[in-house]
Amino acid sequence: MPQERSHRTPLTLVTGLDRTISARIAHTLATPGTAVVSHDLRDVERGRVTRTVHRIDTDGHDEFSLDDIDLEHGCVSCTLRLDLLPLLRTLHRETQVSRIVVVLDPVVEPENVALEVNQTVVHVPGLPPAPAGDDVCLSHTVCGVDAARWLADATGDLTLAEAGLSAAEDERTLAQVAVGQVRFADTVIVERADSAAGAWELARLHAVLVRLAPAAGMRTLNSRQPLDAALMARALASGTAESPHGRPRRPFDPLLSGRPDLTADCGVELMTIEATRPFHPERLHVALDALLDGVVTAQGRLWIAANPNDVLWLDSAGGALGIRRVGTWLATDPAAAADPQQSATAAFYWDDVHGDRHTSIVVLCHRAAPDEIRAAFDAALVTDDELAAGPRALANLPSPFGTDHRDPCDDLETTDRSATVDQTEGENR
């Protein structure tokens, strides 16, 4: 029988769009007692994945294994559920393993891995069914950033397939993955700083990163500075308790966690959009275009007149934007159970007429003018006359929003509001 432990094994994720940078980061973490795991997903659509496991025992001896894994259904989720998660449970029981490092393929978003680790029940021969999170503790995520390319990738509209990183049916964009990787990081390693197009461009990149991951530790290196174990140790120690540390974001968490800088720097600025009246759905659809150019990312809660009971979550990165339902306002059912953060948010926004319904969005601009974005969203709010028509009239306004919406879109057709509701907190595609 595998050995049982009374404590969970620490798990570190290494993420980023650049495979070489991720490999260098992993090399610095390969200390005695560590198992370093990676999956190469470049051939996953054919049902084949290459897995590498590098074990360094407590005496510093190395052991490598390289295996081709055949999957019945070739996809990222299958790789996680059928191979990585069971492997984590097995490595936890190896006496020579005191830490696990997982190097994620560039197409994998670390927040989704965290969800899988904590929620997906794994079946391993000889063990009771349980999530891998019962055996491992995701304590740290390190993200590697290429100073020469990252900002262009994070603000464009290329899909992963167009960039040659994923299968044709994967509609996610480079921007969505790049932003998600940095946002979930506890430590950011910026490499190739001397490859950036000048000091101002490097400063602009830093201004974006420190606002996207304000609680993370950060180190910036040029091509002549080696990334070694000592530097990595200092980088890991420079983060704060407010960074994610493996905790996925929930819709009612503070949108400005980590105390980011709200002043402008190199044209980069965080702005907030707050409203205590609903949006007119068609005018909002037009206003969303303001977030598709010159904006790194936007996230937040939406109150739309045609969806009066639904908490809608907006999430944009570069030229891609999605809106999905993530729950209901407490005003629709005050007796319903809610997590403490939702209750605290409801108390802050509570209104005698509309309850806790509100809009709260944070926008990270790098070229767009915040005043123009704010004006576009202000113009999309329902007017006093529309409010006076009453809740029934507002709920019957024609709407392009159902339970799931993505921009850019091809038309403005009314969607079926009886469609199946996705209440998960996973990725939006």
Over the stretch 33-51, which tens digit does the pLDDT of each residue have?
A: 999 999 999 888 888 899 9
Average pLDDT of the residues of the chain: 90
Distance CA 9, CA 12 (A): 10
Query: In this model, does residue 424 exceed pLDDT 50?
Result: no
What is the dihedral sign for C-alpha 365, 211, 284, 276? negative
335-359 residue pLDDT tens: 666 788 999 999 999 999 999 999 9
**φ/ψ (deg, to 5) at 278:** -75, 165
Q: Any idea where the domains of the chain sit in the sequence?
A: 9-237, 269-407
Q: What is the pLDDT of residue 74?
A: 72
Query: In this model, does residue 381 exceed pLDDT 90?
Result: yes
Q: Which CATH superfamily is domain 269-407 in?
A: CobW-like, C-terminal domain (3.30.1220.10)
pLDDT-derived band at 397 (thresholds 50, 70, 90) equals very high
Query: Quick count: other Cβ atoms within 10 Å of Cβ 19?
Result: 16
- Amino acid letter, residue 234: R
Domain 9-237 and domain 269-407 have a common topology = no
Inter-residue contact 249 to 315 (CB < 8 Å): no
Structure tokens at 144: 């590697």
Please compute the mean of the pLDDT values over residues 10-22 and round it to a whole number.
Answer: 97
Least confident of 2-11, 243-252, 356-365, 405-414: 405-414
Instruction: List, in sequence order, every residue forming a beta bridge with 136; answer none if it has no partner.
Output: 9
What is the dihedral sign for C-alpha 277, 375, 365, 412? positive
How many residues belong to the chain?
Answer: 429
Please compute the mean of the pLDDT values over residues 218-236 and round it to a whole number.
Answer: 94
Continuous segment of H or E residues that includes residue 111: helix 110-119
278-317 residue pLDDT tens: 999 999 999 999 999 999 999 999 999 999 999 999 999 9
* CA distances from residue 62 to 83, 371, 401 in whole angstroms, order as listed: 22, 57, 55
- The answer to whether the pTM exceeds 0.75 is yes
Cα-to-chain-centroid distance, residue 142: 13
137-192 residue pLDDT tens: 999 999 999 999 999 999 999 999 899 888 767 889 999 999 999 999 999 999 99
CATH topology of domain 9-237: Rossmann fold (3.40.50)
Q: What is the pLDDT of residue 416?
A: 33
Inter-residue contact 129 to 123 (CB < 8 Å): yes
**φ/ψ (deg, to 5) at 320:** -120, 140
Query: At which residue do the structure tokens 């704060």 appear?
Result: 240
Q: What is the pLDDT of residue 4?
A: 57
